């Protein structure tokens, strides 16, 4: 069974047919040029905040079905970022989609702001600690803010973010996304939207919907080792539980051993993952 969907390259200018909304009669291809340009700018090019984690990796693959995707990786100085970036590149390489550009790296060091926060220290929240323990103050503010600035200088006006349903943090609410996008648009003099396509989905539903993608190449761990998930941190626990609930075989390489993988299923991407990790 084919695991990847190859997408047709998105082209700009002539030769591309777009359906546009006509106020008088639903969808029509007769929209005027200004409407067509506006629609194309907003839909055909999207910057996706991509951490190398499962949710944002799947998001960039999903958006690539209808747009040119610019993955944005933001370095904050956290301990697991080199591993994340390798995972992101491995996933993008495996997708081999002409609509997914090479990842762009932006940076905002958080250590001076975070003080003795666990994320810039030696220990990470364990599996038995509540989800609120993994809160990174202002994370989406920093990520979306940087991506929006990049968009304003690259003729892109949409930022995609892989926030899921059940996310309890104040900077992951729909209200926040809308109001922050409005403030950024005003401050940048460039219209920018924040698109959170998975905000109504749980991780298990995302896994089920996108099981055809090489999910095992993504990294959702705060203490990874040579590309392997620790299997013990809060993020690993979330991933393990989500795969279990989804009913999809978990091909993730956990240091503690695989949870529900089926012995006859082997990741076709294991070799390339090892090469990059």
69 vs 236, beta carbon nearer Zn ion? 236
| Interface residues toward Zn ion, by CB under 5 A | 221, 230, 233, 236
48 vs 221, beta carbon nearer Zn ion? 221
Minimum gap (Å) between residue 127 Cβ and Zn ion: 8
Q: Are strands 193-195 and 158-160 parallel, antiparallel or unpaired?
A: parallel
Phi, psi of 144 (to 5 degrees): -65, -40
Minimum gap (Å) between residue 63 Cβ and Zn ion: 27
193 vs 258, beta carbon nearer Zn ion? 258
74 vs 221, beta carbon nearer Zn ion? 221
Minimum gap (Å) between residue 234 Cβ and Zn ion: 8
Minimum gap (Å) between residue 221 Cβ and Zn ion: 3
99 vs 234, beta carbon nearer Zn ion? 234
In terms of DSSP H, where are the helices of the chain? 33-44, 54-63, 81-95, 111-114, 139-152, 174-188, 203-209, 234-246, 270-276
Structure tokens at 202: 């749980």
Of 52, 129, 126, 131, nearest in space to 92 by CA: 52
Minimum gap (Å) between residue 254 Cβ and Zn ion: 8
136 vs 149, beta carbon nearer Zn ion? 136
Minimum gap (Å) between residue 123 Cβ and Zn ion: 12
Residues 6+ apart with CB under 8 A from 189: 152
194 vs 221, beta carbon nearer Zn ion? 221
Of 53, 52, 223, nearest in space to 122 by CA: 223
Residue 173 DSSP class? S
Counting other chains too, the contacts that 208-213 makes at CB distance below 8 Å and 24 or more residues apart are: 208/246, 208/247, 208/248, 210/58, 210/61, 210/62, 211/246, 211/248, 212/1, 212/2, 212/3, 212/4, 212/5, 213/3, 213/4, 213/57, 213/58, 213/61, 213/95
Minimum gap (Å) between residue 44 Cβ and Zn ion: 36
């Amino acid at each position: 069974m084919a695991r990847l969907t190859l997408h047709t390259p998105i082209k700009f200018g002539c030769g591309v047919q777009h359906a546009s909304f006509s106020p008088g009669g639903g969808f029509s291809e007769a929209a005027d040029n200004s409407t067509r340009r506006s629609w194309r700018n907003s839909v055909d090019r999207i910057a996706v905040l991509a951490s190398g984690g499962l949710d944002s990796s799947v998001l960039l693959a999903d958006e690539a079905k209808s747009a040119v995707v610019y993955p944005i990786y933001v370095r904050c100085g956290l301990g697991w970022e080199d591993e994340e970036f390798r995972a992101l590149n491995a996933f993008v390489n495996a997708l081999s989609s002409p609509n997914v550009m090479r990842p762009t790296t932006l940076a905002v060091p958080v250590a001076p702001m975070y003080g003795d926060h666990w994320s810039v220290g030696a220990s990470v929240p364990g599996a038995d600690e509540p989800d609120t323990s993994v809160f990174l103050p202002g994370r989406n503010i920093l990520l979306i803010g940087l991506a929006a600035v990049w968009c304003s200088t690259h003729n892109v006006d949409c930022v995609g973010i892989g926030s899921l349903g059940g996310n309890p943090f104040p900077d992951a609410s729909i209200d926040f996304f809308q109001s922050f996008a409005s403030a950024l648009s005003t401050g940048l003099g460039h219209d920018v939207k924040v698109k959170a396509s998975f905000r109504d989905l749980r991780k298990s539903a995302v896994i089920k919907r996108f099981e055809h993608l090489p999910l095992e190449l993504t990294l959702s761990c705060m203490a990874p080792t040579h590309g392997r998930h620790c299997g013990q941190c809060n993020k690993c626990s979330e991933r393990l539980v989500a795969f279990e609930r989804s009913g999809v075989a978990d091909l993730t390489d956990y240091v503690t051993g695989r949870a529900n993988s089926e012995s006859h299923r082997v990741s076709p991407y294991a070799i390339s993952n090892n090469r990059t990790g």
